[in-house]
Amino acid sequence: MPFQKNDLKLFSGNANLQLATRVAEYMGLKLGDCQVKRFADGEINVKINETVRGHDVFVLQSFSPPVNENLMEMLIMVDAFKRASANSVAVVIPYYGYARQDRKARGRDPITAKLVANLITVAGATRVLTVDLHADQIQGFFDLPVDNLLSFPVFAKEISSKYGEDDLVVVAPDVGAVKRASKFAAKLEIPLAILDKRRPADNIAEVVNVIGNVKGKTAIMFDDIIDTAGTLLEGADALQKAGAKRIIACAAHGILSQDAVSKIVESDLEIVYLTDTIFHDNLPDKFCIVSVANLLGEAIIRIRKNLSVSILFR
């Protein structure tokens, strides 16, 4: 049921206006009137062109490249809404950047995911809604409610409709992705395989073993992020050598840095499914985008009505 005009308002930064528009349409709302531009020196200039006094405001902004620009846009928007006397300001972050810097892997490493959480809290946000956090413990970095939505039901629906007759196996690209991939495999009621991966350096991955039976099967590599595509392509090569019949991939967040797109196009991957948490224009045919707009819209409605959000993943 659409909300009354004065109950809830949804605004968007510049990172993903397309997704924000689809979320608003699902909720039966018109996207809020807010201009996010730049001053001559590059500083961010936010203008809210409608009243938000007493309203529950949701701000949608992905921390996609350029990450720092989009992060700063959101922080300034939150501050503007709080100073305009909004009743609450929840931030909807489909892709939470800096999430991979969540612990001290080496001496003197920063924990930037925690720093970003502090910035969001200090800016005045009252709640966080995100999709497929890279590490679950990031929810504990906030001193406010965090809802981490999971994209695997969206992918499961797509895979079931197109590959339901195949002999399928879900493949976790590394040990750290097993929990995420196992939920996807359970949803599809198919087995799980694991790639034993080593990282000799940042953004470099080497697969040394395939744990599980993939021979003659359609292998579905399932991860949360595709960045430079190094992990993906190493995994696809290992699966092909292990006898997989077809290799496809699903990932919530397609960052696609550097020449990732061209590498994927030239690879043996049949197709790569991504969500629209990060906006891309004119991707090649080897990519297929599935939308999380309805998932986000339903979650926002449930938060606003104080209903369960976790029920969306049962």
Token pair of 125 as six digits: 């946000």
Token pair of 180 as six digits: 């995420």
CB atoms within 10 A of CB 18: 14
Give the position of tokens 């019949």. Answer: 245
**DSSP secondary structure, 66-96, as one string:** SHHHHHHHHHHHHHHHHHTT-SEEEEEESS-
**Cα 201 from Cα 138, distance rounded (Å):** 23
Catalytic residue among 197, 263, 286, 305: 197
In the residue annotation, 197 being an active-site residue is answered as yes
Instruction: Residue 57: name the closest of 23, 92, 96, 93 by CA.
Output: 92
Contact criterion met (CB below 8 Å) for 215 and 169: no
Instruction: Residue 248: name the closest of 228, 273, 266 by CA.
Output: 273
**Cα 173 from Cα 265, distance rounded (Å):** 19
Catalytic residues, which ones? Answer: 197
